[in-house]
Amino acid sequence: MNKPLRRISIFCGLLILALLVRTNWLQYVQAEELSTRKENRRVAIAQYAQERGNIIVQGDPITGSAVTDGSDYKYKRTYVNGPMWAPVTGYASQAFGSTQLESLEDGILTGNDDRLFFDRTIGMFTGDKKQGGNIVTTLNAAAQKAAFEKLGDRKGAVAAIDPRSGAILALVSTPSYDPSSFAGNSKDDEKAWVELKDSADKKLVNRALRETYPPGSTFKVVTAAAALEHGVVTDINAATDTPEPYILPGTRTPMVNHAKGCEKASLNKALEVSCNSVFANLGDKVQRDNMVKTAEKFGFNNEKIDTPVRAFASIYDKTMSRDGNAQSSIGQFNTAATPLQMAMVAAAVANDGKLMKPYMVQERTAPNLDVIDRHKPEEMSRPLSAENAQKLQAMMVNVVENGTGGKAKIKGTTVGGKTGTAQHGEKNAKRPYAWFISYADTEQGSPVAVAVVIEDSEADREDISGGGLAAPVAKAVMEAVLKSQS
């Protein structure tokens, strides 16, 4: 072969080699990246080429699928009572993607998950069309409805947990939205999306999991637990050394009480009437680092609480000053919590000090309803001993029976609770948040613990707003759970 032909042959060989390398690079190295790019419409078309599996609550689907007209997406998502269940399902939109369970469980719902490979393979031989699997939740329909209806048109959130297992029974955020309104890719869907996205009410935000608030006096349950666990208090009915007024350590600032009889009040009495001074004093005696340890055992400062939807981390500041710690011990200053976090606090107390990891997916099932996997309840931590938990239970029951939580009473049932009103805004000028955390007790243990927060409270006094506004919501949720299990 002459020299020019040899050069051309070598050059052509190099081109073929480059083509082979490039092809293999695209097919194997970059395959996943290319298949998941937003610009790749074929992925989205395939995603909506068949009916999605359903999200199930107590045997009934709260989702569905409908044929889309005039689109290369064959099916779009539909929802049953969409606004009520949106904080659970999230949304699946042909144009705007997906969130929460719809996103995290997309592989099962579309049938693309590797765990459904056998079903897909069998379908190839039988001629059955591809189907999605189902997500079976832990939610209680009656509790969800009670929470949603009781909150009504107020801004707020409810989280309810079974303390014995960690199963989430209700997860409500208001005002809400209907995921069906923008599930397609038409101009109407786009209009609905834009209105929601730009809404001043933040309707797309799941307030139960992904909004943090100052927890106010409901946090005093954590401070009480810390005082008991670290030996600052041993007898809940013994007088404390709290003066009136109590001056924040290192300052000349008195801690304001909205309750009477707080001077030297016992831990039990201080929780009943919600004495700021007593809990600020106890938080100072426990000291910041020990307060942090107890708060973290309840779940604070944990950035990986997955339900499987990840909740925002609740915060107890690790670096604040001594007076900041005293203020944080009453749920103000830098302390911030999600409703789920405060439901976890009530649940741990109700469950004799054992905190179970919260979850809301009970099972994942194949299209033929075979169980792919089933959740096993998992202990998360032990924030306090059984003995101290029972002391705290007695104190929370006293709050409902004789203190600020009277509107949570349920006839024939033992209820423990704690009210709270969280001041916020510059110089606490904004309307306070109304809080209530509680649990109901039965002979079989506590089947439900609840946290309620209402943002647009018109009350202006510590705890009374929590007892007056949030406690009735918690009561309705607890009653719904008790009735459904009777």
pLDDT digits (tens, 9 = 90+) for 362-394: 999 998 888 999 999 999 999 999 999 999 999
- pLDDT(35) > 80: no
Give CA–CA dist 255/192, Å, rounded. 48
User: Looking at the domain assignment, is residue 92 inside a domain?
Assistant: yes
Could you say which of 107, 124, 141 is where a domain stops? 124
Averaged pLDDT score across all residues of the chain = 89
How confident is residue 421, by pLDDT bands cut at 50, 70 and 90?
Answer: confident
Q: What is the pLDDT of residues 55-70, one digit of tens each?
A: 999 999 999 999 887 6
Residue 227 lies in a domain: yes
Specify the amino acid at residue 15. Answer: L
pLDDT number for residue 466 = 64
Cα gap 289→283, rounded to integer Å? 10
Place 48 in a pLDDT band, splitting at 50, 70 and 90: confident
For 271-325, the pLDDT digits (tens) are 999 999 999 999 999 999 999 999 999 999 999 999 999 999 999 999 999 999 9
At 369, which amino acid appears?
L
Compute the distance between CA of residue 273 and CA of residue 476 in angstroms, rounded to an integer. Answer: 23
Instruction: Give a yes or no: residue 467 inside a domain.
Output: yes
Look at residue 395 and tell me whether its pLDDT is greater than 70. Answer: yes
- The contacts of residue 257 (CB under 8 Å, 6+ apart) are 244, 275, 276, 277
Tokens of 134: 């189902």
What is the mean predicted confidence (pLDDT) over 78-86?
97
Q: What percent of the chain has pLDDT over 90?
A: 72
280 within some domain: yes
Domain that holds residue 346: 213-361+380-485
* pLDDT digit string, tens, across residues 149-180: 999 989 999 999 999 999 999 999 999 999 99
pLDDT of residue 122: 59
Together in a domain, 105 and 254: no
Chosen domain end from 74, 91, 124: 124
Would you call 241 exposed, middle or buried from its count of C-beta atoms within 10 A (0-12, 13-18, 19+)? exposed
pLDDT at 357 (0 to 100): 98
Q: Which pLDDT belongs to residue 40? A: 63
Weakest mean pLDDT among 145-154, 279-288, 343-352, 424-433: 424-433
What would the mean pLDDT of 97-108 be, rounded to a whole number? 94
pLDDT at 401 over 80: yes
217 assigned to active site: yes
In a domain, 428, yes or no: yes
Contact 405, 467 (CB under 8 A): yes
> C-alpha 337: how far from its chain's center?
10
- Give first-to-last CA distance, the chain, whole Å: 93
pLDDT at 464: 47
Indicate whether 267 belongs to any domain. yes
- pLDDT at residue number 11: 79
Residue in this structure with the two tokens 């006839």, named with its chain if needed: 411
Q: The CATH number of the domain where 104 resides is what?
A: 3.90.1310.10
65, 181, 217, 457: which is the annotated catalytic residue?
217
For helices 220-229 and 288-298, angle between their N-to-C axes, nearest 10 degrees = 110
Confidence band for 9, pLDDT divided at 50, 70 and 90 = confident
Task: Check: CB of residue 155 under 8 Å from CB of residue 149.
Answer: no
- Which pLDDT score is estimated for 348? 98
- Does an H or E element contain 343, and which? helix 339-350
- Regarding whether 221 and 352 lie in a shared domain, the answer is yes
For the chain, the residue count is 486
432 and 299 part of one domain: yes
In a domain, 15, yes or no: no
How many CA atoms, within 13 angstroms, populate the side-chain half-sphere of residue 86? 23
Are 115 and 260 contained in the same domain?
Answer: no
Both 351 and 464 in one domain: the answer is yes
Element (H, E) at 284: helix 276-286
CATH number, domain of 274, equals 3.40.710.10
Structure confidence at residue 222 (pLDDT): 98
Does residue 111 sit within a domain? yes
Alpha helices in 25-140 (DSSP H): 31-35, 41-47, 82-89, 100-104, 106-110, 117-126
Q: Tally the domains of the chain.
A: 2
**Cβ atoms within 10 A of the Cβ of 257, count?**
23
Average pLDDT over residues 117-134: 65
Q: Which of 105, 124, 143 is the last residue of a domain?
A: 124
Of residues 190 and 368, the one with the higher pLDDT is 190
Q: Cα separation of 290 and 329, whole Å?
A: 11
